[in-house]
Amino acid sequence: EGDQAYQLAEMARVLKRSVVVAVTLRGAEELRRARRAGGGGPHFVILDVPRLTELVIQATPSEALISYALDVTGRSAFTPYRLRGALRGGSSLFVGRDTELNAILGSLDSEDHAILGSRRIGKTSLLANLYYRLTQPEFGRNILALRINLLDSSTVETFYAEIRRELEGRGLTKQARQLDGPPRADYSDLLDVMRQLRAEFQHPIVLLVDEIDGLYLRDRDENEERFFQFLRNMLAQSQPRLCTFVMTGFRYIYLSRLEHSSVFYNFCRFHSLLGIDRAAVALLVDLLEGFKIEIEQKQEVLGLIERGTYAIPYYVQLVCDQLLEFVDQTKRNVIGPNDVREALARDIQKLLKQELWDSLNVGGTLWGTADSEIKALKTRLALLALILAKYDHKLDPERAHIALAPALRIFTAADTVRYLRDWAADVCPYPWAVTENEVNQLFLSLTMTLALAPSEEDRWAYVFPNDILPDVLGYYQRHDQNFDLLNELNELMDKLKKML
């Protein structure tokens, strides 16, 4: 049912943003009226022969057609922004990741990489653009890059099938056939293929592996990491190097790098994706001007969007897309700071609260814990205690804008235990015997989300990245009469007591 609802929502979104140009010999006005009455999407631009002739004889017919279509359908039907799925390689929407892109491209013969970050932060888009660059003439002549797309349910057989698919697509059918059938127990069939390809291309084969976590967890739990030990020891760290791995993951491989016994210990260079810089935000906002929209007080608009979206590309695009809808609704060709504030208030805070608070996930799979709901409750309690102790100014409209000094933003598990005990003593009997070790486990599993980040100074210390979570909860405390952090703390305590 969930998948069906998603598919229906996706179909509705596609229809809403679809434009059909129809040419008719007669009855154009009647068709236009019928479409206006029906509303919704797809949007039809209906041309009769006289109108089509007018457009064709213009100096730039294609621009004239687009301008006419914009007047008919509105700008939002032609949105350039992508709000679902990864960006295609070479997309103009891919901005702000040059540092990571160049670091990876500059070390493909010597270093493996893991691209990490929260959902919708742009991991797969970065991988797609790496693949795009590696298939361009500057790289493509002597580098073979294979794209391997995995899912949570993926197995070693899936990995082999993806390699076969890519090899067949490149015309390397001889090597692809060598991977037919079930994988050998020692994976020597894959080793033989990579040796052949390494000799042919005289460069390590670049394996771009998307969504590595599911396969890694399966290999760890069912196979004692034997497949990943093979990938690291026999392919990546062989002499000469046979393969270079560039992988994307959410949290498990990031956390596993801390364990000396893990295959990821000293395996990869890690790239943690966060927000982009002001110049990259401006590139996305500038696309609005291509729709003949004037941006008033542009620097203030850019600042509002950068701060309000925490410069996360997905949220920047979402706000810009909403601004296109505002222009259609108001019939104005101008946007300014107040329009941005309204767009930010409409969805961004709601989406962040849903992702970072309402749907908080503490990664029970990593720690082998069965009751993830209890761990989620404990984590919310710990985070609330921190926010109420360190960020109480976020609850006050007059002081909500104040930013803590960097040193004051850092906290440890010991701080959290102390704050939690203080609040528990004031609010209600304490529901569980919290320890620093337990808090560290809870917090480590959040460090690849936007909720929490490890401190640069101390592996066992943390910060709220860009103060996103305190900002979001403080916003709801100030603007939603039905949301109160102290009441939330009480309710969480009560729920936890009943479950323990």
Strand partners, 23: 47
> Which of these, 81, 20, 86, lies nearest to 324 by C-alpha position?
81
How high is the pLDDT of residue 2?
42
Distance CA 328, CA 307 (A): 25
How high is the pLDDT of residue 444?
79
* pLDDT < 70 positions in the chain: 1-17, 34-41, 140, 250-252, 254-255, 257-258, 362-370, 423-432, 448, 456-459
How would you class 320 by CB atoms within 10 Å of its CB: exposed for 0-12, middle for 13-18, buried for 19 or more?
Answer: buried
> Is residue 203 a contact partner of residue 244, using CB atoms and an 8 Å limit?
no
3-state secondary structure of 45: strand
> Is residue 256 a contact partner of residue 448, using CB atoms and an 8 Å limit?
no
3-state secondary structure of 334: strand
Q: Residue 220 CB: number of other CB atoms within 10 A?
A: 19
Distance CA 197, CA 213 (A): 26
Distance CA 163, CA 169 (A): 10
What contacts 373, CB < 8 A, 6 or more positions away?
499
What are the φ and ψ backbone dihedral angles of 20, each rounded to 5 degrees?
A: -115, 125
How high is the pLDDT of residue 1?
43
3-state secondary structure of 215: helix
Say how far residue 98 (Cα) sits from the centre of its chain. Answer: 17
What are the φ and ψ backbone dihedral angles of 148, each rounded to 5 degrees?
A: -120, 110
What contacts 75, CB < 8 A, 6 or more positions away?
291, 293, 324, 327, 328
> Which of these, 167, 165, 156, 162, lies nearest to 229 by C-alpha position?
156
How high is the pLDDT of residue 367?
47
Q: pTM value?
A: 0.83
Distance CA 369, CA 299 (A): 48
Asked if residue 182 has a cis previous peptide bond (ω within 30° of 0), the answer is no
Cα three-residue angle 89-121-277, rounded to 5 degrees = 85
Distance CA 420, CA 427 (A): 10
Say how far residue 485 (Cα) sits from the centre of its chain. Answer: 28
Distance CA 416, CA 3 (A): 38
How high is the pLDDT of residue 472?
92
How high is the pLDDT of residue 424?
60
- pLDDT tens per residue, range 262-283: 888 888 898 888 899 999 999 9
